[in-house]
Structure 1
């Protein structure tokens, strides 16, 4: 099967308190499926491209319902493995009147047992784009080895790839993250990190210097995000900036993944880098303006957002 995107990582069943804005006082919760890599896959599928996602799921009901959720979004999960471990989960509050607080239930989860041999060469050679994140590196040593293997194999096969740092400080320390992620930040088509994450890994504070260094490492497009603030990026050493569209943020969780998915889809559709980044910004803003990781992801054809949606966001 030929795909536009292949990605892998850990999906989580997210239990969100629904009767109060605090897990401490809540008695009712809603469950949704989410996860950095699968969020990107869903974004590409919504935009009319073929996305394939690999993970290890437990032989439990959570694993079954999550796979069904992902399939319902048009993402191919036929390569997924079921193993004798539990499927990971997250518990959080909605963040409507209080900051979002997250508790993870994922140490030793099914997905944390992912290993390089899971990612066959054929998975990568049959796709147009490989996407990986630092979260898979954080969940286990074998996960980090799998990311390294996949990115190196994509480079060997001349398949375009992207790497999103996505440091999760609840999963590991900044020092541990730096040691693992710094060597991986090279030789990809697209590198996307938040400003603070770049600073953690490279130990520098000047955006221009950091992005220039990343370009020198063989990363063609280096993007530095900062929520709804000015986005900085550098293409082969040429520094530019974009201001994302302004929206009333309802739930920022998942907006970064939507941004990444929109950018990748745009590049695959033939857009210029700037156009693709603008499309990603629209995707991220729409997700931030609605509750849930997938709720606001826009629809499109052949990797391009529907014109009506773009006009609505821009107020035209």
Structure 2
């Protein structure tokens, strides 16, 4: 496999989703894993920086990445440690998440575990707010990896991906803003950004993030599309009308497709248009991974939309 063009750092998870019969079906989650898979399906050489346990769940994740063409060269199998898992249950109030990730193998990732040579030769590094919230050591690893990548001339892409179950909003706001100030590409979602910035209008949120530092801001708007801005040149791309069933992982799909297409075209607006369609397609199936389209699927759907 060729050297990774995008390295993603964070915690992968195994999912157990409750079926209508009450049983649990195993699947996969973890935002950075989803992003890496989306990037790979959209033509990029993507890889992960993480740790998994020497248990059946870690093995299953490694098998998934191998099948998807995602590099595991920088995935450590930690002897005697466990891979994080979560459960999805359903009732009349919707779906609920229960996590079993405290002390997971990934949470022990630290700056000393980083593949410095790989980061210094990689064009793009990606992490999220969840990567920052998992543990203090992983947070330090994200900061060190971003610095290593940017010092060598690469770019740092960051999604503040807020999870208040992992840390208080006030802490999340302070830390994610400081990391955002050191990134080149900001990939916030509208709901998260409103909580983190205290602002409501999408245009004000984009300007806020530009002021922190990123040259490119792609603010995803859910079914309403994306507001993409490069050096303050803002363009709204409307959402695509699809038979949406499940929006789980749509933002991750967008991020991976956007970064892969940006590497290919060097055109942020074209990349946003491509990723906007990919994310819409991903909502037409269930789960975070299975519905992520391939690059050919996304291009065909875009061509059909342009001709209609």
Q: Which TM-score tier does this pair reach, normalised by the shorter chain?
A: over 0.9
Which deviates more, 7-16 or 206-215? 206-215
Q: Does 1:49 align with 2:44?
A: yes
1:184-230 deviation line (CA, Å, top 9, x unaligned): 01242310112232233333334323322322332011122221124
1:23 matched residue in structure 2: none
2:105 matched residue in structure 1: 110
User: Matched residues in 1 for 2:84 and 2:295: separation?
Assistant: 31
1:90 matched residue in structure 2: 86
Superposition CA RMSD, Å: 2.0
2:251 matched residue in structure 1: 256
1:78-123 deviation line (CA, Å, top 9, x unaligned): 221122321101111479x762211111111111111112122212
2:163 matched residue in structure 1: 168
User: Matched residues in 1 for 2:51 and 2:249: separation?
Assistant: 21
Q: 1:79 aligns with which of 52, 67, 74?
A: 74
Gaps of 5+ in 2: none
1:282-303 deviation line (CA, Å, top 9, x unaligned): 11111111012122222237xx
User: Matched residues in 2 for 1:48 and 1:256: separation?
Assistant: 18
2:55 matched residue in structure 1: 60
Change (3 A) 1:56 1:117: same
CA offset at residue 43 of structure 1?
A: 1.1
User: Matched residues in 1 for 2:5 and 2:115: separation?
Assistant: 16
Please give the secondary structure, in 2, of the residue aligned with 1:15: strand
Q: Is the 8 A contact 1:245 1:314 kept in 2?
A: no
Q: Is the 8 A contact 1:282 1:313 kept in 2?
A: no
User: Matched residues in 2 for 1:100 and 1:289: separation?
Assistant: 18
Which deviates more, 159-168 or 236-245? 236-245
Change (3 A) 1:253 1:314: farther
1:294 matched residue in structure 2: 289
Gaps of 5+ in 1: 21-25
1:8 matched residue in structure 2: 9
Please give the secondary structure, in 1, of the residue aligned with 2:222: coil
User: Matched residues in 1 for 2:304 and 2:218: separation?
Assistant: 26
TM-score, normalization by structure 2: 0.92
Q: Is the 8 A contact 1:228 1:244 kept in 2?
A: yes
Question: 1:190-229 maps to which residues of 2 (within 5 A)?
Answer: 190-229=185-224
User: Matched residues in 2 for 1:151 and 1:203: separation?
Assistant: 26
Change (3 A) 1:37 1:278: same
2:19 matched residue in structure 1: 18
CA offset at residue 48 of structure 1?
A: 2.2
CA offset at residue 40 of structure 1?
A: 1.0
Please give the secondary structure, in 2, of the residue aligned with 1:16: strand
CA offset at residue 311 of structure 1?
A: 3.9
1:308 matched residue in structure 2: 300
Q: Is the 8 A contact 1:244 1:278 kept in 2?
A: no
| Number of residue equivalences | 306
Q: Is the 8 A contact 1:6 1:51 kept in 2?
A: yes
TM-score, normalization by structure 1: 0.90
Question: 1:234-253 maps to which residues of 2 (within 5 A)?
Answer: 234-253=229-248
